[in-house]
Amino acid sequence: MEARRHAALKDSIRSIPDYPKPGIVFRDITTLLSDPRSFRRAVDSLVHPFAGGRIDQVAGIEARGFILGGAVAHQLSSGFVPIRKRGKLPHKTVSMAYALEYGTDEIEIHVDAVKPGDRVLLVDDLIATGGTATAAINLLRGMGAEIVAACFVIDLPEIGGAQRLRDLGVPVRTLMEFEGH
C-alpha cells in the first residue's frame, strides 16, 4: 500500500530537462504541492515515523523546506526553525559555510532558534549532494541540538547525499528516488 502511495506521489513530480543547466533534470515539487491529496500524502508520510515521539523543533531548509517543514511541524505539534541563506534573517544569527560546485555559500539560523538538547527533525524537498543538509546538521549540532533524522521527499541516490548524512550518524528518510542528476 505504501509503495503504491509513493508511486502516486512520484507521478505528481514534474521533471524539467536541462534546468538549471544542460544535462540536469530538475525535479519540481510545486506540482505535488498544488495537488491537495499529494501534498497531504507527502506530509503524512514524512510525519508518520515520528508521530508520538518527541520532536522539539522541525528545521526547514530554504525555500521548499519551509513549506514541507512547516506542515510537518504542525502535524507533530513542534516548533519550526527556518534555515536561510546568509543575510535573510532579521535577528542575530549563527552561520555555517558550505561548498558549492563553484565556490561557497552560507546558511544561518537565529542564535536562539534551538536550545542545547533540543531534538530536531531536518526537512527539505530533495537530497542531492547533501552539502546544504550537512551544513545545516553541523550548524544545529554546534548549537547543541540532537538531530533525530533528516527527511526529504526526493533522493537522487547516484549523487550520494543521503549516504553522506548517514555517514554523519543521521538517519535519512526519503519518499522516492529518481535516477540521475
Q: Which residues are catalytic?
A: 64, 101
Nine cell digits for residue 35 = 495537488
Contacts of 6-13 with CB under 8 Å at 24 or more apart are 6/45, 6/175, 6/176, 8/38, 8/41, 9/38, 9/41, 9/42, 9/45, 9/153, 9/175, 9/176, 10/176, 10/178, 12/38, 13/154, 13/176, 13/178
Cα(143)–Cα(93) distance, integer angstroms = 11
Nearest CA-CA partner of 115 in 80, 139, 143, 150: 143
Q: Which of 65, 79, 70 is nearest to 145 (CA)?
A: 79
Which among 7, 54, 55 has a CA at the least distance from the CA of 178?
7
